[in-house]
Structure 1
Amino acid sequence: MTEHAPADRDRIVDVLHGVEIADPYRYLEDPDDPRTQAFVQAQNAVSRPHLAGLAAGPAFRQLTTTLLTAPRRGVPWERGGRYFVVANPGDLDQDQLFTADSLDDLLTAPRLLLDPNTLSTDGTVALTAARVSPDGALLAYALSEGGSDWQSIAVRDIATGLDRPDRLTWAKWVAPTWLPDSSGFLYWRYPAPATAANDGAVGSAALTEAMPAGELVHHRLGDDQDADTLVWSDPEHPEWMAGPWVAPDGRWLVLTTSPGTDSRTTISAHRLTTPPDGTPVAIDPSPVVVVGELADAHTVVGSDGDQLFLRTERDAPRGRLVRVDLADPDAPWTGLVDQHEQDVLVDASPTAEAFVLTWSSDAAHRIELVDRDGASLTWPDLPAPVAVLAVNTRANSPEIFVGLGSFTAFSRQYRLDATTGYQPELLAPPGDRPDLPETVVQRRSGRSADGTAVPMTVIRRADLPAGPSPTLLYGYGGFDVPILPGFSALFGAWVAAGGTLAVANLRGGGEFGADWHTAGMLHHKQRVFDDLYACAEALIADGTTTPEQLAVHGRSNGGLLVGAAMTQRPELFAVALPTVGVLDMLRFHLFTIGWAWMSEYGSPDDPDDFAVLHAYSPLHRLREGTRYPATLICTGDHDDRVVPAHSLKFGAELQRCQAGPGPVLLRIDTRAGHGAGKPVSALAEEHADQLAFAAEYTGLVPRG
């Protein structure tokens, strides 16, 4: 077992709802505490050389680097007659934004519009949002630094490539949403933290402190940020946030509001007016209430005059498409596409004459085309099983762009057009990409503790025999998020090296509709963990793997999943890879945006919720003298979503408690956050370290 200097332990004990809770590592919650800084340095001083010396390290570094540096291109979109795409020749840390006056030019000779790689020396400034004005003249774009969720917003003239004076800071969550006359946009901002630097730099306090109420504001081009006007806020309930949608015809602003990460929403609409004197669009402050009760999930699809189209779960937990009359919102809604008997309506995108519907069918996607009255139209078959990565359409255009992906194959982009009968045109790939081995893909299931069948996808190389082999089991199980077959360099590298991959579709996720989600949230969270154990036990029972060959991996809420699994069932796994995980379930709500997760987890301040949270909180389930799996805990010091204290405290206590031979390592990235915007080079290193660690302690010897 790898030796670590024991971390300081303070005598801090809280009494919560009559229960004494020791918290000896609370100082690790403060990134500026000298003991925290010393702890981080000491952990990396042990983990870095250990990881560098793993036998499979060179093979996985080559594999992950090859996969992550392959040329890549996103799904194109059009605005104002111009075409745009995010792409990367392969060797850049951050993706670039390109434009052209035609689709052919975009694919063959695009013009570089924005290159984040020039904005920092270490590749840690990332483009997090790019929204083109309706007239195609201006780009509002958001940047983040060092992996933080904080964003700064700027505006660029597309013709000249020069930035305008507009510069907005302390923004999060909502991408700039243009008004129809391109005179300005809406965005979500917070007050500058008291410790913020004058230049808007993100200090350590801004990465940990609980956030106050935010506000949706309207920025007019050319104004100082101080002049931005309030559109929506709820200071009495800071957990509530609003997402804006603007009708392409300029008639309506629609706000979708919800508390924190709750998938249920309310909806209100504000009429937009264009004054006759040519002054910018005005927002009527008086709302038209469309959905006033927080009971179901609703998302805006599009509009036609005063007719608003919604994807709704009202009376349809798997989703349906309806039309609402904003002139009479209390009238019965008109159903256009009914709930499917099995599949989940994930999304709907409007074109000039139709809707492109994306359905989740057994945790993969299929696409359907219907007219504006919901009747099916002829639509070609696209490859399956896949995940739809993006559908880019415009309400006044017959053109459709679709991106498809799968677990171990690079993404593909298609163009379809109503004028040509929607025949799919496969867009040329952005360059030569490495060949990946042929795979065998199977859908299997385990039987959870309450008898529920839990599906999973199992993938291995086709040229390798079936039988027990090192296996990576991945899961998430929360926040209504579906785990679908999108490409992952980590997954692709593991399978290419000869390992078996199992991706579980656990309750709490969004693969099978609202009922599947609610069955794994709040007081039902233990079901998610039981679902994972069912998948693991099924893989062992059918001869796919053995406990000595099984690694479990998850990120964020999936990191909580791994933490719960390794503390509840340590004998089931050889390796645990909790990444940026939520591991202290009694204090998660006290940092940055953590209070937004109480709609999913419950509140530690509520005695009934506390009992449930305390029972499974990974940090509080650790027991000295227990044989835990070999564990590699990964986090980033700029993670202001799941603050690194979760991983630091859990790692310190796990090292104290570990009685097994497996090492417990903490890998702490500097200038890195929750994952978004991480430089390609850093991501390749992280993936390689995780896979080499998993290989070392499951017995995988990478194949050629």
Structure 2
Amino acid sequence: MSQPLRYPPADRDEVVQVLHGHRVADPYRYLEDPDADRTRAFVDAQNALSRPILDALPAREPLLAMTTALLTAPRRGVPWERGGRYFVVANPGELDQDQLFWAPSLDELLDAPTLLLDPNDLSADGTVALTAARVSPDGRLLAYAVSEGGSDWRTIRVREVAGGVDRPDELRWTKWVDPTWLPDASGFLYWRYPEPAGAGRGGALTDAMGAGELVLHRLVAGSGPPQAADRAANPGPDEVIWTPPDRDWLADPWVAPDGRWLVLTSSPGTDSRSLICAHRLRTDQGRVVIDPAAVPVVGELADAHHVVGSDGDTLYLRTERDAPRGRLVAVELATDAPTAASWRTVVPQHEQDVLVSAHPARDCFALVWSTDAAHRLQVVDRTGAHRDWPALPAPISLIAVNTRAGSPEILLGVGSFTARTRSFRLETGPSITLTALPGPGGDVPLPELVTQRRRTVSSDGVEVPMTVLRRADLAPGPAPTLLYGYGGFDIALLPSFSAMFAAWVAAGGVLVVTNLRGGGEFGADWHRAGMGHRKQQVFDDLIACAQALIDSGDTTPAQLAVHGRSNGGLLVGAVLTQRPELFAAALPTVGVLDMLRFHLFTIGWAWTTDYGSPEDADDFAALLAYSPLHRLTPSTRYPATLICTGDHDDRVVPAHSLKFGAQLQHCQAGPAPVLLRVDTRAGHGMGKPARALALEYADQLAFAAAHTGLAPV
């Protein structure tokens, strides 16, 4: 690959738009239409270029063998209980999609479960995925959602657990909010949208979405009513339909297990801040109904709040009000309009750690704390007093904490960088016991790894941490290194197992996982420091990490690859355009790369809470300054770049990757290749069949290996 590639010709249209006084060229705008002939021809030509190059990479076959082995090993999720029945998602290893099982006891679930739902039967190509599974409180009914081809659009159906038979209920054009059952299982709440106007021409995958609504679907004997009969569950002035105050608002319902309250948490877009109101539930003619009178709990959009549980008329919240690292409070709903001043603190803000979540079990809460971007579990009674219990290994992330308010049993999922998720049963009865549940077997052996926590100083003098992983049997010194980051939307990067990362480290590469501003690792202040006009700080943080690794002699620019997905793809696009000399290879995956038009497609407008809006002149200036598509400069030597997307990605539409790839090929002055890899029948990553995911990971890792000098050990 010493000579520049001959890239497929791509039309450059004379499209120029004046935005806030700036002339902005957009020569590849036609690629925004995924069904246009020119777009299809462009995608076919790019795949025809990249496929043979990727197939011929020296490390691809051993890396494909490893990623396939890791992703097709038997796996089992964390069990949960409803109505005395136990449920788990599992896969014997060879199936494209995971299955759902149930049993009348936990022991039987682990030894001889009954198959309840197999998504593999729903499509010939394995691209229909189970994306939600909510069992009714009595354990009799399953409301489940499936998506096709990686799309975020979901269809909700209802299945009888005992018989394994679907009811006639079928609810389409739903997203985001999982079905939430009423306490008597007479119906459930879900979030729906109008059928997209462009659905018949493929516009459901690209058109900007309108406002949704929270609705209540009632089950009836024999057959369910048509979807159009669903009525609004959050009552407005007419007590029939609740319309969000603006298109970007979403409401997440929570129903008290004792059947007293429905609590709605609402927020605009992806904003962590939220409002909360509560509605009494009462029984009318033998079924639960929702009182239209709302009890305001949080009426000011200023902080993040999450419902934890309830005890009669006492509501428990995890809140960031007066506590940017979180605290647990009790709110008395019997008061007509409880104010923050009347909230009772159960667990105060920690002086350093972040309260991530709280989970109610019988007479106690299981608290998840983040300590230096790793989880620890604490059990406290209902007054907040600590209870002694056996500690979990560290450093870990708690993948799941499944509790029931009236049960002493807590089922935990524990993950780490070096081991797949393990399940534990915590019994909180008079004495606390911790038991490891048996795994599904078939573990893939991996070499022993060493983990090091490091820090570096970013551009503003703030320390930014990162975790460095390498094989224990390899000597320290400059090594091919994969640098990974995210830095946005209050999302934390924690110690969790990844087949892609495990394969890289097993092959002899070094993995570095960064904790950048914009993420949720260190509380609200850390998140806000990387939002909006401060977004450049996220990129500065990653650049500081890269520079520190080079300055310390751990790697060199010729050995350093950078990778990120979605918002992390934006991160990669930003740093490769701002500091191309730092990296030998870049792997932006399903990235947000056109910061001037992201808000015009599907759910993109919801991201303005984190990025700012291109419609605002001040926000526009900040976005234009770092927008990867618009930072590309002709006659510049950029690192080897493999851009990956899916043609059914209706979250970050493929136009981001296609336009960026076309422009990067146009601007590339060096010999390093710029390749596009476009999956068909694939979306943002959700529900991708295991072998298809193994192929994607192998292509990415082999590309990084080829350009960083990694020869698998």
Distance apart, 1:378 and its partner CA: 1.2
Query: What letter is aligned with 1:131?
Result: R
Matched, 1:631 2:641: yes
Tell me what 1:120 maps to.
123
**Matching residue within 489, 495, 498 for 2:499:** 489
Provide the identity percentage: 71
Tell me what 1:2 maps to.
5
**Following the alignment from structure 2 to structure 1, what is the Cα–Cα distance between the partners of residues 244 and 454?**
48
**Following the alignment from structure 2 to structure 1, what is the Cα–Cα distance between the partners of residues 269 and 428?**
39
Distance apart, 1:420 and its partner CA: 6.5
Tell me what 2:239 maps to.
none
**Following the alignment from structure 1 to structure 2, what is the Cα–Cα distance between the partners of residues 6 and 550?**
30
Name the SS for the 1:510 alignment partner: coil
Tell me what 1:213 maps to.
211
- CA deviations 1:224-265 (Å, max 9, x no partner) are 111100124435510111000000000000000000000000
Tell me what 1:338 maps to.
348
Tell me what 2:382 maps to.
372
Q: Which moved more, 1:226-235 or 1:353-362?
A: 226-235
Query: What letter is aligned with 2:290?
Result: I
Query: What letter is aligned with 1:508?
Result: G
Matched, 1:273 2:282: yes
**Following the alignment from structure 2 to structure 1, what is the Cα–Cα distance between the partners of residues 445 and 401?**
26
Distance apart, 1:42 and its partner CA: 0.4
**Following the alignment from structure 1 to structure 2, what is the Cα–Cα distance between the partners of residues 127 and 421?**
37
- CA deviations 1:371-411 (Å, max 9, x no partner) are 01111111211110001000000001000000111123111
Tell me what 2:562 maps to.
552
Name the SS for the 2:522 alignment partner: coil
**Matching residue within 458, 465, 468 for 2:475:** 465
Matches within 5 A, 1:282-301: 282-301=289-308
Tell me what 1:242 maps to.
251
Tell me what 1:151 maps to.
154
**Following the alignment from structure 2 to structure 1, what is the Cα–Cα distance between the partners of residues 511 and 649?**
27
Q: What is the aligned length?
A: 696
**Following the alignment from structure 1 to structure 2, what is the Cα–Cα distance between the partners of residues 322 and 73?**
34
Tell me what 1:563 maps to.
573
**Matching residue within 130, 138, 142 for 1:135:** 138
- CA deviations 1:135-159 (Å, max 9, x no partner) are 1000000000000000000000001
Distance apart, 1:421 and its partner CA: 2.2
**Following the alignment from structure 1 to structure 2, what is the Cα–Cα distance between the partners of residues 352 and 49?**
58
**Following the alignment from structure 1 to structure 2, what is the Cα–Cα distance between the partners of residues 132 and 89?**
23
Matches within 5 A, 1:603-614: 603-614=613-624
Query: What letter is aligned with 1:132?
Result: V
**Following the alignment from structure 1 to structure 2, what is the Cα–Cα distance between the partners of residues 140 and 668?**
33
Distance apart, 1:529 and its partner CA: 0.3
**Following the alignment from structure 1 to structure 2, what is the Cα–Cα distance between the partners of residues 194 and 19?**
32
Q: Which moved more, 1:691-700 or 1:227-236?
A: 227-236
Name the SS for the 2:421 alignment partner: strand
**Matching residue within 264, 267, 292 for 1:255:** 264
Matched, 1:40 2:50: no
**Following the alignment from structure 1 to structure 2, what is the Cα–Cα distance between the partners of residues 659 and 424?**
59
**Following the alignment from structure 1 to structure 2, what is the Cα–Cα distance between the partners of residues 397 and 236?**
38
**Following the alignment from structure 2 to structure 1, what is the Cα–Cα distance between the partners of residues 8 and 440?**
49
- CA deviations 1:450-493 (Å, max 9, x no partner) are 11110000000001100000000000000000000111001100
**Following the alignment from structure 1 to structure 2, what is the Cα–Cα distance between the partners of residues 680 and 246?**
35
Query: What letter is aligned with 2:254?
Result: W
Tell me what 1:645 maps to.
655
**Following the alignment from structure 1 to structure 2, what is the Cα–Cα distance between the partners of residues 374 and 418?**
15
**Matching residue within 170, 173, 186 for 2:189:** 186
**Following the alignment from structure 1 to structure 2, what is the Cα–Cα distance between the partners of residues 55 and 196?**
43
Q: Which moved more, 1:415-424 or 1:257-266?
A: 415-424
> 8 Å contact 1:408–1:491 — kept in the other structure?
no
**Following the alignment from structure 2 to structure 1, what is the Cα–Cα distance between the partners of residues 527 and 648?**
30
Name the SS for the 2:316 alignment partner: strand
**Following the alignment from structure 1 to structure 2, what is the Cα–Cα distance between the partners of residues 434 and 639?**
31
Tell me what 1:231 maps to.
233
Matched, 1:441 2:448: no
> 8 Å contact 1:470–1:500 — kept in the other structure?
yes
Tell me what 1:686 maps to.
696
**Following the alignment from structure 1 to structure 2, what is the Cα–Cα distance between the partners of residues 509 and 633?**
23
Tell me what 1:350 maps to.
360
Matched, 1:675 2:657: no
Distance apart, 1:196 and its partner CA: 3.1
**Following the alignment from structure 1 to structure 2, what is the Cα–Cα distance between the partners of residues 315 and 448?**
27
Distance apart, 1:195 and its partner CA: 3.4
Query: What letter is aligned with 2:600?
Result: L
Tell me what 2:327 maps to.
320
Query: What letter is aligned with 1:69?
Result: T
Distance apart, 1:416 and its partner CA: 1.1
**Following the alignment from structure 2 to structure 1, what is the Cα–Cα distance between the partners of residues 230 and 140?**
22
**Following the alignment from structure 1 to structure 2, what is the Cα–Cα distance between the partners of residues 694 and 623?**
23
Matched, 1:26 2:35: no
- CA deviations 1:93-126 (Å, max 9, x no partner) are 1000000001111001000000001110110000
Tell me what 1:200 maps to.
none
Unpaired runs of 5+ residues, structure 2, are 235-241
Query: What letter is aligned with 1:241?
Result: L
Tell me what 1:305 maps to.
312
**Following the alignment from structure 1 to structure 2, what is the Cα–Cα distance between the partners of residues 477 and 565?**
13
Name the SS for the 1:381 alignment partner: coil
> 8 Å contact 1:234–1:240 — kept in the other structure?
no
Distance apart, 1:661 and its partner CA: 1.2
Q: Which moved more, 1:235-244 or 1:176-185?
A: 235-244
Distance apart, 1:441 and its partner CA: 0.3
Name the SS for the 2:706 alignment partner: helix
Distance apart, 1:660 and its partner CA: 1.2
> 8 Å contact 1:583–1:619 — kept in the other structure?
yes
Matches within 5 A, 1:48-127: 48-127=51-130
TM-score by length of 2: 0.97
Matched, 1:574 2:584: yes
* Alignment root-mean-square deviation, CA: 0.9
**Following the alignment from structure 1 to structure 2, what is the Cα–Cα distance between the partners of residues 101 and 661?**
62
TM-score by length of 1: 0.98
**Matching residue within 495, 501, 522 for 2:532:** 522
Matched, 1:14 2:21: no
Distance apart, 1:90 and its partner CA: 0.9
Query: What letter is aligned with 1:244?
Result: P
**Following the alignment from structure 1 to structure 2, what is the Cα–Cα distance between the partners of residues 482 and 117?**
32
Query: What letter is aligned with 1:207?
Result: L
Name the SS for the 2:638 alignment partner: coil
> 8 Å contact 2:244–2:250 — kept in the other structure?
no
> 8 Å contact 1:86–1:95 — kept in the other structure?
yes
Judged with a 3 Å threshold, the aligned counterparts in structure 2 of structure 1 residues 442 and 283 are, in CA distance, closer, same or farther, namely same
**Following the alignment from structure 1 to structure 2, what is the Cα–Cα distance between the partners of residues 62 and 97?**
27
Name the SS for the 1:410 alignment partner: coil
Unpaired runs of 5+ residues, structure 1, are 198-202
Name the SS for the 1:85 alignment partner: strand
Name the SS for the 2:614 alignment partner: coil
Matched, 1:382 2:384: no
| Structure 1 residue ranges, 4+ long, deviating more than 6 angstroms after superposition | none
**Following the alignment from structure 2 to structure 1, what is the Cα–Cα distance between the partners of residues 559 and 429?**
54
